[in-house]
Amino acid sequence: MRVHIEPKPQNMVNTFLLFFVIHSMQLGVGIQGFQRIIYMEARHDAWVSVILSGIATATIGFFMVKTLSLYENTDLYGIQYDLLGKWLGNLINIVFVVYFLGSFHVIVRNYIEVIQAWVFPEIPNWLLSLTLVYLVYYGLNGGLRTVVGVSFFSVVLSLWLILLLAYPFQFTNWDYLFPMFEAKITEILRGAKQMTFTVIGFEIIYVIYPFLKEKDRVHKYMQYGLGFTTLLYLALMVVSLAYFSGGQLERTIWGTLSLFKIVRFPFIERFEYVAITFWVLLILPNLMLYMWAATRGISRIFNKKEQKVSWMLLLFVFLTLLYPLTRAQINMFNDYFARGALYIVFVYPLFLFGAVLIKKKLSRKKDEANEQKNP
């Protein structure tokens, strides 16, 4: 595997588009019902947990970009290959490929569950899975620039959904926000931990970094994307706390979708149906970028063509989606996946940064020693 990557000019992406990539990756199925699981841990201080999770993503995002900037132009797969060697490095690379495929699987599973529970209960899993897999395959054939374009339009075309969430304000009871700061620090931290499944996605920077043009502006636009997502989740949490009573929020599985139920137009009575079906535009960038990242990993590890790898991985994921799961099993799968994601996304980058920093310092000292021996 070549550590240094030299993308073709036609595959490079303007760095300002990273804002849309990061935000679209964090805005997926997790936003549909994150309020309940956070409230069950932190109660009325759930909004504090959201803020802490935003601080955590900003901090880890800083270390991710800093790690990548220590190399000239490479991705996570190249860094781990250079740092750990061929066998151990590629083993860790495969772990990340499995993680990206797992993310793809979880997103499709959760979206299909929402579709079947709210809109089309009779549609079989295989048909919905095949539709999403085909859309992803069609997007990947256009290359990274096409996928990034989908992320851009996903954010822009979904802004009207965010504005409609102001509708519940007229029915809020702000007394529901009190008492504040009654939760213990441990409870607030557990609430922030429960946000893991909702805020992951920004780790895509590890793979997309070599294809960004202005490397000195990467960190700025990444933080913009993370900050905008945190503000959106904070606003949703505050509105949900003020609209639902504590007992209601504990029983509301999909809090955000339930907020759409009260939106009324003269020509649309059940607006949540529109929101749910439109949600496919929000999850498509997640699916495309996760599959692209997994494809890049297999392609670099085994030196195979990306197009051939992509359809093989999509076929594999499609076959895994055919196995039926109950609501309880999907919840359990989400929990296990979130636990793994916590270590992969929030813990491992710190160790990786430290290891790369040590390796660079040792290499620099070795080069200086060689220069002194051979002036």
| Beta-ladder partners of 268 | 265
Q: How far is 249 from 327, CA to CA, in rounded Å?
A: 18
Q: How far is 332 from 329, CA to CA, in rounded Å?
A: 5
pLDDT at 191: 93
| Beta-ladder partners of 13 | 212
Contacts of 225 (CB under 8 A, 6+ apart): 18, 19, 20, 21, 22, 23, 26, 202
Tokens for 78, please give them: 């190249």
4 part of a folded domain: no
Q: Across residues 330-343, what is the average pLDDT?
A: 91
C-alpha closest to that of 245 among 307, 176, 319, 348: 176
> Domain count of the chain?
1
Euclidean distance between the first and the last CA atom of the chain, given in angstroms as a whole number: 33
- pLDDT band with cut points at 50, 70 and 90 for residue 371: low
pLDDT at 256: 83
Q: Tell me whether residue 178 is exposed, middle or buried, using C-beta atoms within 10 angstroms of its C-beta: 0 to 12, 13 to 18, 19 or more.
A: exposed
Q: How far is 37 from 15, CA to CA, in rounded Å?
A: 34
* Number of separate helices (H) and strands (E) present in the chain: 19, 0
pLDDT mean across residues, the chain = 89
Residue 258 predicted with pLDDT over 70: yes
Q: Express each pLDDT in 32-78 by its tens digit.
A: 888 889 999 988 899 999 999 999 999 999 999 999 999 988 999 99
SS3 172: coil
54 part of a folded domain: yes
Q: Across residues 149-171, what is the average pLDDT?
A: 83
C-alpha closest to that of 342 among 222, 212, 193: 193
pLDDT at 118: 86
pLDDT at 163: 77
1 part of a folded domain: no
Q: Across residues 193-211, what is the average pLDDT?
A: 94
Q: How far is 24 from 241, CA to CA, in rounded Å?
A: 24
Q: Express each pLDDT in 12-27 by its tens digit.
A: 999 999 999 999 999 8
249 part of a folded domain: yes
Q: How far is CA 299 from the centre of its chain?
A: 22
Q: Across residues 86-99, what is the average pLDDT?
A: 95
Percentage of the chain modeled with pLDDT above 70: 98
Side chain identity at residue 27, one-letter code: L
Residue 168 predicted with pLDDT over 90: no
pLDDT at 136: 95
- pLDDT band with cut points at 50, 70 and 90 for residue 1: confident
Residue 267 predicted with pLDDT over 90: no
358 part of a folded domain: yes
Q: What CATH number has the domain bearing residue 299?
A: 1.20.1740.10
Q: How many residues does the chain have?
A: 375
SS3 268: strand
Q: Across residues 309-328, what is the average pLDDT?
A: 91
pLDDT at 375: 60
Q: Express each pLDDT in 117-147 by its tens digit.
A: 888 888 899 999 999 999 999 999 989 999 9
Residue 39 belongs to domain spanning: 9-373
213 part of a folded domain: yes
pLDDT at 2: 83
pLDDT at 17: 95
Q: Which of 132-141, 159-168, 207-216 has the lowest mean pLDDT?
A: 159-168
pTM to 2 decimal places: 0.94
Which of 51-55, 231-235, 330-334 shows the highest mean pLDDT? 51-55
